[in-house]
Amino acid sequence: MFSASCSYEIRAGLNPTSTPNDTCVTVDQFRFPGLALAPTPIDGTFVYSGAVPDPGNPAGLVGSCPNCAIRGMAAGNIDNESVGVDTWVISSKDGKVSTAGCGTTDTAAPAGTPFNTFNDATCD
């Protein structure tokens, strides 16, 4: 995800369908038929530090670059069961959550580093 309101590139067949305005990518249902097309991420509430605006929530770009902030999110079911989905966030700003997500002890999310907000393999 790279937007709060996604326009999806659909990966349900041999050839993905996309438009120049797509801001999100679905699960590759051609390779993994039967999985949810767009799993619901399990996010955390972040407090950010730094001079540029806080990034979009759940994802996106805020401000005018080069003084902008960017946040992306990914979600997937890595252990192929129906309870929750693994979720990661990456941002151009340092962030922190007050409480660690299920299956993780981390609360600090350094800029540019993928941060796991929900570890599905541990939280079944």
- pLDDT tens digits for range 83-94: 778 999 999 999
Confidence at residue 46, expressed as pLDDT on a 0 to 100 scale: 93
Confidence at residue 107, expressed as pLDDT on a 0 to 100 scale: 96
Q: Regarding beta strands 86-91 and 115-118, do their DSSP bridges make them parallel or antiparallel, or are they unpaired?
A: antiparallel
E strands within 42-113?
46-49, 60-64, 67-76, 86-91, 94-97, 108-109
Pair 109, 70: CB distance under 8 Å: no
pLDDT digits 0-9 by tens, 27-40: 888 888 888 888 88
Residue 82 has pLDDT above 80, yes or no: no
pTM of the model: 0.84
Confidence at residue 87, expressed as pLDDT on a 0 to 100 scale: 93
pLDDT digits 0-9 by tens, 62-78: 988 888 999 999 988 87
